[in-house]
């Protein structure tokens, strides 16, 4: 089985989470803690999640784009996409600092939504 670049990126995330959580907790405890933290973040940020979902749902259907590696992410023929700049704009409207990389992908910085999850996940 050929390992795609997408899997390589995902594996780095899994490794980081494993280092932080499985090094001191068993699998069940780590999973429960991460689920609790995810639920907390969803509750805390529901308004921005809803705004992004609403904006995304208003988009037109497009042909599914391949991942950077060329791999397919789905068997579906159509998907809806949002430009990174629009996602950044929505995140900022809700007080979540974010930036857009050179390829147009949106990322919340370390003080924002995703960074906060990684920085504080081990507390929950």
- Highest-pLDDT range among 31-40, 50-59, 81-90: 50-59
Residue 53: band (very low, low, confident or very high) from pLDDT cuts 50, 70, 90:
very high
- Mean pLDDT computed over 59-75: 81
Judged by average pLDDT, the poorest of 14-23, 48-57, 97-106 is 97-106
Strand pairing class (78-79; 62-63): antiparallel
pLDDT of res. 77: 86
Count: domains in the chain: 1
Query: Where do the H-state alpha helices sit in 45-124?
Result: 46-57, 84-93, 113-120
- Mean pLDDT computed over 56-83: 85
107 or 2, which is more confident: 107
pLDDT of res. 104: 54
Residue 67: band (very low, low, confident or very high) from pLDDT cuts 50, 70, 90:
confident
Phi, psi angle pair for 61, to nearest 5°: -70, 140
Judged by average pLDDT, the poorest of 12-21, 39-48, 50-59, 86-95 is 12-21
Q: Environment class of residue 39 by beta-carbon count within 10 Å: exposed (0-12), middle (13-18) or buried (19+)? A: exposed
- Domain of residue 23: give its range: 5-123
């Amino acid at each position: 089985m050929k390992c795609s670049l997408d899997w390589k990126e995902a594996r780095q995330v899994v490794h980081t989470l494993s280092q932080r959580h499985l090094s001191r907790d068993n699998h069940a405890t780590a999973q429960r803690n991460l689920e609790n933290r995810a639920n907390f973040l969803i509750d805390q940020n529901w308004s921005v999640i809803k705004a992004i979902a609403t904006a995304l749902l208003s988009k037109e259907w497009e042909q599914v784009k391949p991942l950077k590696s060329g791999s397919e992410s789905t068997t579906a023929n159509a998907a809806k996409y949002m430009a990174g700049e629009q996602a950044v704009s929505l995140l900022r409207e809700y007080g979540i600092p974010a930036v857009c990389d050179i390829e147009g992908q949106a990322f919340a910085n370390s003080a924002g939504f995703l960074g906060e999850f990684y920085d504080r996940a081990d507390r929950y």
